[in-house]
């Protein structure tokens, strides 16, 4: 018996995440009847390849969602808020990658390896979390089975592709400009990113923290169902093309041994333990790019708190941190 097919739209199909969604849908053999590519008026008419065919991009507007079952959002907050009512009115479920609805109490915020049951609570919209939040929580969530996490201190080392398709282009161009002795031009980032670190991602938010830095706490509480969780986070843009890295000190209610932490992380869904310092084996961006598993290593005790465990993790923020997580949510919708 043939399996049921679903009509899927991608809102923001021409951007980096939208194009990755197309790639992941094809890789995972998602049961698609029609794939409708939606973007701004200036991108309408562009043709993109999918499953051996060329699909024409259509303009995203209020009438563009008729007949769709699921819409994967890869557009801005403003576009998501503008078109969400039309998506719901068309009877589709909106799986949105923007931050527009993440903290809305009526909208589930889902990482399928952590809180898949929350998908059932949707009222037409499901939010995809921040990329660094997804990668970090996938790495550490299994520790909750040993003792609830009470706080985290995290530093994120975020690749330039996290800023969109223009990020890698700017990094490569600046490397060429420096090699050729030319003046460095910065357009995507506020400063030269080649051979540099920029310790700000997002605008100023609370007490000197940026909006990006507050997401780890606010979203982590909702995803892991830990309303008292506290997180102190520093987000840094680094001259790496792809895959985010995070150093995180996890403090739990009761002490956890390193061996126990390794064991539960090694068996956790979505994780791969890469942790052998003597053999120089640890997660790195080059190894974790263009795939969906979060690599976890450098697991060691915190020397300042007996209830602390230090962890280093890496994951592809375009895939698991965005496109793949959204499509995993869509797969949960089909199951439910």
CA within 13 Å, CB half, 239: 13
Using DSSP, state whether 2 is helix, strand or coil. coil
| Straight-line distance from the first to the last Cα atom of the chain, in angstroms, rounded to the nearest whole number | 20
Looking at residue 18, its pLDDT comes to 96
> Are 233 and 154 a contacting pair, CB within 8 Å?
yes
Our answer to whether residue 131 is catalytic in this structure is yes
> Are 227 and 148 a contacting pair, CB within 8 Å?
no
Annotated catalytic residue within 122, 131, 233, 235: 131
Condensed to tens digits (0 to 9), the pLDDT of residues 32-60 reads 999 999 999 999 999 999 999 999 999 99
Condensed to tens digits (0 to 9), the pLDDT of residues 203-262 reads 999 899 999 999 999 999 999 999 999 999 999 999 999 999 999 999 999 999 999 999
**Residues forming CATH 3.40.50.720 domain(s) in the chain:** 6-129+322-335
Annotated catalytic residue within 233, 235, 244, 313: 244
- DSSP states of 121-186: G-SSEEE---HHHHHHHHHHGGGGGTS-EEEEEEEEEE-GGGG-THHHHHHHHHHHHHHTTPPP--
- The yes-or-no verdict on residue 1 having pLDDT over 50 is no
- The yes-or-no verdict on residue 327 having pLDDT over 50 is yes
Using DSSP, state whether 190 is helix, strand or coil. coil
Looking at residue 116, its pLDDT comes to 98
Cα–Cα distances (Å) from 265 to 88, 117, 310, in that order, read 38, 21, 13
Our answer to whether residue 244 is catalytic in this structure is yes
The domain defined by 133-317 folds into: Dihydrodipicolinate Reductase; domain 2 (3.30.360)
Q: Element (H or E) spanning 295, and its range?
A: strand 294-301
Whole-angstrom Cα distance, residue 79 to residue 41? Answer: 13
Q: Element (H or E) spanning 312, and its range?
A: strand 308-315
Looking at residue 144, its pLDDT comes to 97
Q: Residue 70: what are its φ and ψ, rounded to 5°?
A: -140, 135
Q: In what order do the strands lie in the sheet with 244-252?
A: 230-237, 149-158, 244-252, 308-315, 294-301, 271-273
Q: Which CATH code of 1.10.1040.10, 3.20.20.105, 1.10.3430.10, 3.40.50.720 fits the domain covering 6-129+322-335?
A: 3.40.50.720
> Are 10 and 94 a contacting pair, CB within 8 Å?
no
Q: Residue 114: what are its φ and ψ, rounded to 5°?
A: -110, -55
**Residues forming CATH 3.30.360.10 domain(s) in the chain:** 133-317
- The yes-or-no verdict on residue 165 having pLDDT over 90 is no
Whole-angstrom Cα distance, residue 19 to residue 23? Answer: 7
Q: pLDDT band at residue 2, thresholds of 50, 70 and 90?
A: low
- The yes-or-no verdict on residue 167 having pLDDT over 80 is yes
For the entire predicted model, the pTM comes to: 0.95
- DSSP states of 244-285: EEEEEEEEESS---HHHHHHHHHTSTTEEE--BGGGTB---H
Whole-angstrom Cα distance, residue 188 to residue 1? Answer: 50
């Amino acid at each position: 018996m043939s399996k049921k097919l679903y009509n899927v739209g991608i809102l923001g199909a021409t951007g980096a995440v939208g194009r990755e969604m197309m790639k992941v849908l094809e890789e995972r053999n998602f049961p698609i009847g029609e794939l409708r590519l939606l973007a701004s008026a200036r991108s309408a008419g562009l043709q993109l390849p999918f499953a051996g065919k060329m699909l024409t991009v259509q303009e995203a507007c209020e009438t563009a969602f008729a007949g769709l079952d699921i819409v994967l959002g890869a557009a801005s907050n403003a576009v998501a808020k503008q078109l969400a009512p039309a998506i719901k009115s068309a009877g589709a479920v909106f799986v949105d990658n923007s931050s527009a609805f993440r903290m809305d109490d009526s909208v589930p915020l889902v990482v399928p390896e952590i809180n898949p049951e929350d998908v059932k609570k949707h009222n037409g919209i499901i939010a995809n979390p921040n990329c660094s939040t997804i990668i970090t929580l996938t790495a550490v969530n299994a520790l909750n089975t040993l003792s609830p996490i009470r706080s985290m201190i995290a530093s994120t080392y975020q690749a330039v592709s996290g800023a969109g398709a223009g990020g890698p282009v700017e990094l490569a161009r600046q490397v060429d400009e420096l090699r050729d002795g030319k003046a460095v031009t910065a357009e995507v980032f506020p400063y030269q990113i080649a051979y540099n670190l920029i310790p700000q991602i997002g605008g100023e938010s609370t007490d000197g923290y940026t909006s990006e830095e507050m997401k780890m706490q606010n979203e982590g509480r909702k995803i892991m169902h830990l309303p008292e969780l506290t997180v102190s986070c520093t987000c840094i843009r680094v001259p790496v093309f792809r895959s985010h890295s995070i150093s995180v000190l996890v403090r739990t209610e009761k002490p956890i041994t390193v061996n126990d932490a390794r064991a539960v992380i090694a068996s956790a869904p979505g994780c791969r333990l890469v942790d052998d310092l003597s053999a120089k084996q640890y997660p790195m961006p080059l190894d974790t790019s263009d795939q969906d598993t979060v690599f976890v290593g450098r697991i060691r005790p915190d020397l300042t708190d007996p209830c602390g465990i230090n962890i280093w993790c890496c994951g592809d923020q375009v895939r698991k941190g965005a496109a793949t997580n959204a499509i995993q949510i869509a797969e949960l919708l089909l199951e439910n």
